[in-house]
């Protein structure tokens, strides 16, 4: 008898940080937004994934057919392939909190910035 296939579970928290993250950044040439998205993504990954990530840059001006599989309709667009679930974030990735929530690295409603209170 065969045992039932193992179910894929959503990687969250520390489980997700143990995996290598596969990220694709779709751009359209060397536009300011594309350059900013790449710089912001590198900064975020260096701070929060500490070497456990791989970034693939896809220039849709050079290879437009590569965007069809991920249904890319705007650039820059970040696609998190692994760990599952697949997620997409459109824009230059300047809003770190938005990116962290979008990648499931931080729960919604929690800010990575310390709030400043007046005495």
Q: How many CA atoms lie within 13 A of 57 on its CB side?
A: 14
In the chain, what are the domain boundaries? Answer: 14-102
Q: How many CA atoms lie within 13 A of 7 on its CB side?
A: 2
User: 78 with 93: CB under 8 angstroms?
Assistant: yes
- Which CATH entry fits the domain spanning 14-102: 3.40.30.10, 3.40.309.10, 3.40.50.20, 3.10.580.10? 3.40.30.10
Q: How confident is the model at residue 111 (pLDDT cuts 50, 70, 90)?
A: low
pLDDT tens digits along 61-100? 999 999 999 999 999 999 999 999 999 999 999 999 999 9
Q: Residue for token digits 């437009």?
A: 64
pLDDT tens digits along 1-47? 444 444 444 444 455 567 899 999 999 999 999 999 999 999 999 99
User: 40 with 33: CB under 8 angstroms?
Assistant: no
């Amino acid at each position: 008898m065969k045992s039932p296939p193992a179910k894929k579970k959503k990687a969250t928290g520390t489980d997700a940080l143990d995996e290598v993250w596969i990220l694709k950044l779709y751009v359209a040439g060397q536009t300011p937004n594309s350059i900013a998205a790449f710089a912001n993504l590198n900064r975020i990954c260096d701070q929060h994934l500490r070497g456990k990530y791989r970034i693939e840059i896809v220039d849709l001006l050079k290879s437009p057919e590569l965007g069809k599989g991920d249904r890319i309709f705007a650039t820059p667009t970040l696609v998190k392939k692994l760990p599952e679930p697949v997620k997409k974030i459109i824009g230059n990735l300047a809003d770190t909190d938005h990116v962290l929530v979008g990648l499931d690295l931080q729960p919604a409603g929690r800010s990575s910035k310390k709030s400043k209170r007046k005495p």
